[in-house]
A and B are shown apart, each in its own frame.
Chain A
Amino acid sequence: MKKKQGKYWKNIRIASSTLFQGLIQTSKHFRKAFKQRNAIGVEEENYFHRSDGLQTVLYPHELLPIPDNGRYRLHNEMDDCIVCDKCAKICPVDCIDIEPIRAVEDLGKTSDGTPKRIHGAKFDIDMSKCCFCGLCTTVCPTECLTMTNEFNFSEFDVTKHNYEFATLTPHEITEKLEALESFNKEKEKNELKNKESKVEGTQPRPKIKMKPVIKDSAIEEPDKNVSGNIKKPKFRPRPIIKKKKED
């Protein structure tokens, strides 16, 4: 009985002292609320020094400075792009859509000296699909595809998240396609001519034989007559059939 009574008064004492401390604590924060945080970036020396006052900033009006090497929206510098399609292939969510057209004429070189050979008729990045992994920027051979520090690109319409970087107009695209077609035709003609001029007057043209299909194993062992088969047995998982439980 005595023990219980002790607990009773102890409860009251602890409760009143802790409640009082709580009120002091919150009133401290309340009194310091006239101090406001400056919009300083994380690179500043005294970024972590401000421990009192309002900690938030008025976002759309005030911005905390973003580091220049932020990893947010993707940007492609089309002049430097060689349309190699590597970014589209590595993208785990397939957010990059590229349509290449082989160039007929000389396209010049990128700023790092890589010759350009392909027009980018379409270079779309759908940022609503993007998972910001940054793989595309690491595989890019000319470093034209980069992540910028632009993070504020919310839209009311999700289709507006599709950013188009291709600079060709539809008219230009059809032009390039026609040029490529005519170039290909000419090439074919030239090839035919060359062949005809080679075989002219000797024999009738031999029939084109179908190439034999080379199997994978054939590459490893050039002599087909070797009877020993050193091919590794393929592992095939067997389906496990569970036996039905008998009642």
Chain B
Amino acid sequence: MSTIIFFLPFILIYTIFAVYGERKISAFIQDRYGPMEVGKYGWYQTVADLLKLIQKEDIVPKKASKKLFLIAPVIIFTSIFCGFVVLPITSSWEGTLTQNGVYFLLAIVSLDVVGILMAGWGANSKYSLLGALRSVAQIISYEIPVTLSVLCVIMISQSLNLQEISYQQGILINAFPDMENVKNYLFGISALNIDVTNWGGVFTWNIFRAPVLIPVFIIYFISTLAESNRAPFDLPEAESELVAGFHTEYSGFRWAIIMLSEYGMMLLVALLGVILFLGSWNTPLPNIGNIMLANWTTGEPETIAGNLWSVFWLLSKALMWIAVQMWVRWTYPRLRIDQLMSLSWKYLTPFAMFLIFVSGLWRLLMI
């Protein structure tokens, strides 16, 4: 539970830099400079924006349902922030000791649909209502491929505990209680009898341990983009059609909270994706013969070096993945609502179901 003292300030600082990074990435992709005025290379642009936002008036539309309108941003942010409690940060600093952390995370994050619907409906504006309707339809549809793809990982790793899943994907696998004798085989196929437990690095990441998870990861990535209302699935806040979607009527600090939850959601799905597929806080460098790169860049649990290495790997992987999310956002045009639905129901969900079947078979190979 103590991870909250890390994640709360981290989300705030990360959002400031992520907004800056997003503006710069979009600018470079479009051959522009992006923010350049406030500070060197515009470093403080987001800080200045934030200061401006805080000073703005908190406007409540006259015809809005005041209670719903005021409380909605809080619910959105709370539900997304609650998802962070189960995430481990380092090899010895884990979230709450829930054995079914993944379930809790998927369940609590779905609650932000309620907040979005409250925001859109309570504002009593056509744009907001349309945005909220789209958002709810989209998030509920895409929750299914997300859950199915997470289920594949759970079948491979046989655990709902995120810290256990993390330990499985590195050289420290035997340091976790009840896993003293577990071995990692190349591609997870025990018949090959190539023991990679001491290799570590990418060879023990889930996408390498069970290559069936690579297409699963792609499905997870696409559907989490839709979950966090990011382009190309940003129909709920389609600027050209709906002004700003469900948060059209918000201003000042409440708007900032909604923005914060959007970026928080990006971070959450990136962290979860890294933990489930990309080796969590484990190093990508394997041991090669006598060069013990994996051991050097992992450190022992409970030591300062071990903590620093694992938090470094976890966050750098997650932030890299956020950069990819931004890259995708500034590359693709927005989907139409029917395309969005057909992508979810006709393509991602059947494939995810099929991959669950394959993952089950793969698990048999791993024993």
Interface residues, chain A, with chain B CB atoms under 8 Å away: 8, 11-12, 19, 22-23, 25-27, 29-30, 33, 53-56, 58
Q: Is the CB of B28 within 8 A of A30?
A: yes
Please, how many angstroms separate the alpha-carbon atoms of A26 and B31 in the complex? 10
With A25-B331, A26-B29, A54-B28 already in contact, 7 other A-B pairs whose C-beta atoms are closer than 8 Å: A11-B347, A22-B331, A23-B327, A29-B31, A33-B27, A54-B32, A58-B36
Q: Is the CB of A33 within 8 A of B327?
A: no
Chain A to chain B: the 6 pairs with minimum beta-carbon distance, closest first: A33-B28, A26-B331, A55-B31, A26-B29, A22-B331, A30-B28
- Show 15 residue pairs from A and B whose CB-CB distance is below 8 angstroms, ordered by the A residue: A19-B332, A22-B331, A23-B327, A23-B328, A26-B327, A29-B28, A29-B30, A29-B31, A33-B27, A33-B31, A53-B31, A54-B31, A54-B32, A56-B32, A58-B33
Q: Is the CB of B33 within 8 A of A54?
A: yes
Cβ of A174 to closest chain B Cβ, rounded Å: 50
Question: Is B238 positioned at the interface, with any CB of A under 8 Å from its CB?
Answer: no
**Chain A residues, CB < 8 A from B29:** 26, 29-30, 33
**Chain B residues, CB < 8 A from A26:** 29, 327, 330-331
Cβ of B45 to closest chain A Cβ, rounded Å: 14
Question: Is B155 positioned at the interface, with any CB of A under 8 Å from its CB?
Answer: no
Please, how many angstroms separate the alpha-carbon atoms of A54 and B28 in the complex? 7
Q: Is the CB of A56 within 8 A of B331?
A: no
**Chain A residues, CB < 8 A from B332:** 19, 22
Cβ of A57 to closest chain B Cβ, rounded Å: 8
**Chain B residues, CB < 8 A from A23:** 327-328, 331
**Chain B residues, CB < 8 A from A56:** 31-33
Cβ of B311 to closest chain A Cβ, rounded Å: 28
| Interface mask (B298-336 → A, CB under 8 Å = 1, otherwise 0) | 000000000000000000000000000001101110000
Question: Is B25 positioned at the interface, with any CB of A under 8 Å from its CB?
Answer: yes
Q: Describe A's contact surface by its main secondary structure.
A: helix
| Interface mask (B328-367 → A, CB under 8 Å = 1, otherwise 0) | 1011100000000000001100000000000000000000
Q: Is the CB of A55 within 8 A of B28?
A: no
8 A Cβ contacts from B26-69 to A: 27-33, 36
A30/B33 contact (C-beta < 8 A), A22-B332, A23-B331 known: no
Please, how many angstroms separate the alpha-carbon atoms of A84 and B218 in the complex? 77
Q: Which range contains the number of B residues in contact with the other chain?
A: 10 to 19
Instruction: Report the nearest A residue to B342, measured CB to CB.
Output: A11
Instruction: Report the nearest B residue to A12, measured CB to CB.
Output: B347
Q: Is the CB of B25 within 8 A of A30?
A: yes
Instruction: Report the nearest B residue to A52, measured CB to CB.
Output: B31
Please, how many angstroms separate the alpha-carbon atoms of A8 and B351 in the complex? 13
Q: Is the CB of A27 within 8 A of B327?
A: yes
| Interface mask (B156-197 → A, CB under 8 Å = 1, otherwise 0) | 000000000000000000000000000000000000000000
**Chain B residues, CB < 8 A from A25:** 331
**Chain A residues, CB < 8 A from B347:** 11-12
Please, how many angstroms separate the alpha-carbon atoms of A77 and B36 in the complex? 40
Instruction: Report the nearest B residue to A25, measured CB to CB.
Output: B331
**Chain A residues, CB < 8 A from B327:** 23, 26-27, 30
**Chain B residues, CB < 8 A from A55:** 31-32
Cβ of B120 to closest chain A Cβ, rounded Å: 30
Cβ of B192 to closest chain A Cβ, rounded Å: 30
**Chain A residues, CB < 8 A from B28:** 29-30, 33, 54
Instruction: Report the nearest B residue to A29, measured CB to CB.
Output: B29
**Chain B residues, CB < 8 A from A54:** 28, 31-33
Please, how many angstroms separate the alpha-carbon atoms of A25 and B333 in the complex? 14
Cβ of A123 to closest chain B Cβ, rounded Å: 39
Cβ of A3 to closest chain B Cβ, rounded Å: 16
Please, how many angstroms separate the alpha-carbon atoms of A16 and B19 in the complex? 28
Instruction: Report the nearest A residue to B332, measured CB to CB.
Output: A22
**Chain A residues, CB < 8 A from B32:** 54-56
Cβ of B339 to closest chain A Cβ, rounded Å: 10
Please, how many angstroms separate the alpha-carbon atoms of A42 and B330 in the complex? 30
Instruction: Report the nearest B residue to A27, measured CB to CB.
Output: B327
**Chain B residues, CB < 8 A from A19:** 332
**Chain A residues, CB < 8 A from B330:** 26
**Chain A residues, CB < 8 A from B30:** 29
Cβ of B262 to closest chain A Cβ, rounded Å: 21
Instruction: Report the nearest B residue to A55, measured CB to CB.
Output: B31
Please, how many angstroms separate the alpha-carbon atoms of A19 and B328 in the complex? 9
Cβ of B336 to closest chain A Cβ, rounded Å: 14
Please, how many angstroms separate the alpha-carbon atoms of A58 and B41 in the complex? 11
Please, how many angstroms separate the alpha-carbon atoms of A29 and B34 in the complex? 14
Please, how many angstroms separate the alpha-carbon atoms of A25 and B25 in the complex? 14
Cβ of A219 to closest chain B Cβ, rounded Å: 66
Cβ of B261 to closest chain A Cβ, rounded Å: 27
Among B25, B33, B36, B346: residue with most chain A CB under 10 A: B33
**Chain B residues, CB < 8 A from A53:** 31
Please, how many angstroms separate the alpha-carbon atoms of A54 and B25 in the complex? 12
Cβ of B155 to closest chain A Cβ, rounded Å: 24
Cβ of B353 to closest chain A Cβ, rounded Å: 15
Please, how many angstroms separate the alpha-carbon atoms of A26 and B327 in the complex? 8
Please, how many angstroms separate the alpha-carbon atoms of A104 and B326 in the complex? 75
**Chain B residues, CB < 8 A from A30:** 25, 28-29, 327
**Chain A residues, CB < 8 A from B328:** 23
Please, how many angstroms separate the alpha-carbon atoms of A54 and B36 in the complex? 13
Cβ of B87 to closest chain A Cβ, rounded Å: 28
